[in-house]
Chain A
Amino acid sequence: MVARGVLSFSGRPSIRSAAVAAGPLEKKKSRFAHLFDQFYDSELCGEETNEKAHSRMIEDACGLVLEKAEAMPADADFLLCGDLVNQMTPSNFAAANLHLPYIGLFSACATSVSSLIAAALLTEAGASRLTLAGSSSQHNAIERQFRYPIEYGFQKGPTAQWTVTAAGFAAVTPNEPGYPEIRHATVGRSVDYGLTDPLNMGAAMAPAAFDTLNRHLSGTGNTPDDYDAIITGDLGSVGSSLFRNMAKDEGIEVKRSKWRDAGEEFYGDDPSFFAGASGAGCSAAVYFSDVFKRLMDGEYRRVLLIATGALLSPLSFQQGDTIPCTAHSVELVMGEGGES
């Protein structure tokens, strides 16, 4: 620990491999589609229900990650993952089929990073040779969980975001040269700025993202210039510009080209997705495809991933509560040398 909630991994666990499985809409519309590993012909992924399809996607993504790491399911020590369905049944069912020691994690859409942090800690403690970490979302199952039936007609405003159908997973192992290393991480606080609109989640999450960025920078002593990119999870176009404004206001100057947001970029500029993509699978799909590849290719040397999550439930917002949000960050370095 270097500051409260800011972790430093001296053992430098590696991300040995990463894989993404995604739905049919993502195949057609996502600008990262060429980097994904598997697609399904329908949102149901050949299953009877959306929830089963969700589970299938998790299993398939885990299988792909293991395949890429040249490992068998029996080689993995832990499965750490989560989703947004009540009690995380899709993850639970996938875990049952994978027969791995499993802890379900809920950090809403920030689970992609919270699972990486937990995996890095297990690895650092010497308890794991390979841990599968990741998160996922399935559009239909999540819309039903949080909003209205899929076919119900209601007008979404310009701040709404679109839940992606995707599962992104990574295999975390003890340090292996030639693969991205997890150097630092910051566990997010639950930040509540009093916003209540569940159709403007980006704006609700931006303060949490800023809080974590600020704590990560002051905890590690890094400056934004040390990173090739700072990539938030699913703030979308509205939340991203708010986040950047907050950072600027507090004196954190970052070049526009270094600020990235998975949600804003996921479907390109297509206006039919409103402010962009969201969902636990959104950040996971981009981090574990595009970002991982850029690190492997040497295009990025050091990146900061800040996954954001809105910690609301349909009950809490119907009761008029505000939307508490969180953001977890992890710093990945394509390591060669000694400096931390």
Chain B
Amino acid sequence: MDQKTYSQLEQKMSPKVPLAGNLIRAFLTGGLICAIGQGIMYFYMYFFDFTEKTAGNPTVATLIFIVMLLTGFGKYKKIAQFGGAGSAVPVTGFGNAMISSAIEHRTEGYVLGVGGNMFKLAGSVIVFGVFAAFVVALIKTILVKFGVVGW
């Protein structure tokens, strides 16, 4: 059997990723995480002295703290197997990438192990996140300069 025939056979016989089911599960998981985030945000706004603009930071910190516990107790990977992108895209996915790397590399010490590897997976989120923010800010600055939009 040559390579081409084999690759056709492989395509035919390998089980397909259940796309529709995965999309629905991702929607539900991602939606639930965001709803919880919204709840935490209201909590900070009603019980503490935060506004809608300033409540974002403590909300993110709280979510990451919850994820830290879930990751440490081995629960987040189970949520991710169910939720897929729904659990990877929100800030909880970022937290999980960071914390799981830190746990994994603990055996190599705090400096070269935890410190050096913590952002191994999450690092690209930061790099491209910062770069994208820079590009968007640049575009907006130009548009404001030419009077197309206002700040």
Contacts and interface: CB of A to CB of B under 8 A. Distances in A.
A245 B121 contact: no
Contacts, number: 91
Given A48-B107, A194-B7, A246-B6, A153 B15 contact: no
Given A159-B15, A250-B1, A153 B10 contact: no
Interface string A316-333: 000000000000000000
Nearest to A49: B107
Interface stretch (B58-66, B68-76, B129-137): B68-76
A250 to B, nearest CB: 7
Contacts of A238: 13-15
Contacts of B81: 153, 155-156
B77 interface: yes
Given A149-B103, A153-B76, A159 B14 contact: yes
Dominant SS among interface residues on chain A: loop
A210 B1 CA distance: 10
Interface in B73-115: 74, 76-81, 83-85, 87-88, 93, 96-97, 99-101, 103-105, 107
**Size class of A's contact patch?**
20 to 34
A149 B121 contact: yes
Nearest to A50: B107
Given A193-B6, A195-B10, A153 B103 contact: no
Contacts of A153: 71, 76-81, 87-88, 93, 96, 100
B100 A203 contact: no
Given A158-B15, A159-B14, A151 B1 contact: no
B80 A242 contact: no
A159 B81 CA distance: 14
A297 interface: no
7 contacts: A150-B77, A153-B96, A155-B80, A155-B85, A203-B14, A241-B13, A249-B1
Interface of B: 1, 3, 6-7, 9-10, 13-18, 22, 71-72, 74, 76-81, 83-85, 87-88, 93, 96-97, 99-101, 103-105, 107, 121
